[in-house]
Amino acid sequence: MDMSRFNGLPSLRMSVHSYSRCWVHLIWGTLNREKLLHKQAAARLSRYLSEYADTKSVYMKINYVNADHVHALVDLSTNLSIEELMQLLKGSSSHWVNVNNILQGKFAWGRGYGAFSVSESNVAQVAAYIAGQENIIGCAPSRKSFGNLSSAMAYAGRMRKAVETAYVHRGGGRTGLKAGVNESVPSGSSR
């Protein structure tokens, strides 16, 4: 079966009896969440991320680069784990920013990331949320930007809460993720 018709990407070697569609909303931030990426740098980085994903046969439906964090919606290919994809995206993009002198000084992404599965039925809603990032960050979104304002705002709230929960705290090196789900609690510490 020719899988190249899916996402317009070249076919990867895969069993003729296999099909994968795994949408993931990825979020990651600059080191210490510093607002380093001005509009021109953000636009260039956004183009780079899309082009780089394409070279790795990863379909990136949309991305948005904010001053201090990035949102991307990808269809994860079967040959990469989320961790491997994040290493590729963060590593190559920070290298690209530094080599091309996009910003003054050394640029680095912060530790960690958020990765949220997205059902096929919610892909358009998540893409609209990502496309409307400038409106969400800068001011209240308009109905024109989102179509369904209440569902977009509910999603925005869930994503903000998830990112805040997963934020890596400076100093201790621990994450805010729930013990037993994503990390163990060091002996003698409390929550």
- Between CA 113 and CA 120 the distance in angstroms is 22
Model pLDDT for residues 92-146, shown as the tens digit of each residue: 999 999 999 999 999 999 999 999 999 999 999 999 999 988 765 543 333 333 4
Residue closest to 38 by CA, chosen among 134, 103, 129, 131 = 103
Question: Are 58 and 75 in contact, with CB atoms under 8 Å apart?
Answer: yes
Catalogue all structural domains in the chain, each as residue range(s) with its CATH number: 23-166 (3.30.70.1290)
**Residues sharing a CB contact under 8 Å with residue 1, sequence separation 6 or more, in sequence order:** 16
Count other C-beta atoms under 10 Å from residue 191's C-beta. Answer: 6
User: Does the pLDDT at position 67 exceed 80?
Assistant: yes
By C-alpha distance, which of 109, 115, 138, 133 is closest to 33? 109
Position 18 scores a pLDDT of 76
d(CA 80, CA 109): 21
> Measured between alpha carbons, how far is residue 166 from residues 65, 78, 181 in Å?
19, 25, 12
Q: What single-letter DSSP state applies at residue 31?
A: G
Give the angle 17-19-23 at the CA atoms, nearest 5°. Answer: 165
Mean pLDDT of 54-76: 95
pLDDT at 133: 84
Least confident of 86-95, 127-136, 178-187: 178-187
Confidence of residue 29 (pLDDT cuts 50, 70, 90): very high
Q: Is the dihedral of CA 84, 41, 168, 125 positive or negative?
A: negative
Phi, psi values for residue 28, rounded to 5°: -150, 160
Whole-angstrom Cα distance, residue 92 to residue 105? Answer: 17
Closest-CA residue to 26 (of 67, 60, 77): 60
Q: Residue 148: what pLDDT?
A: 45
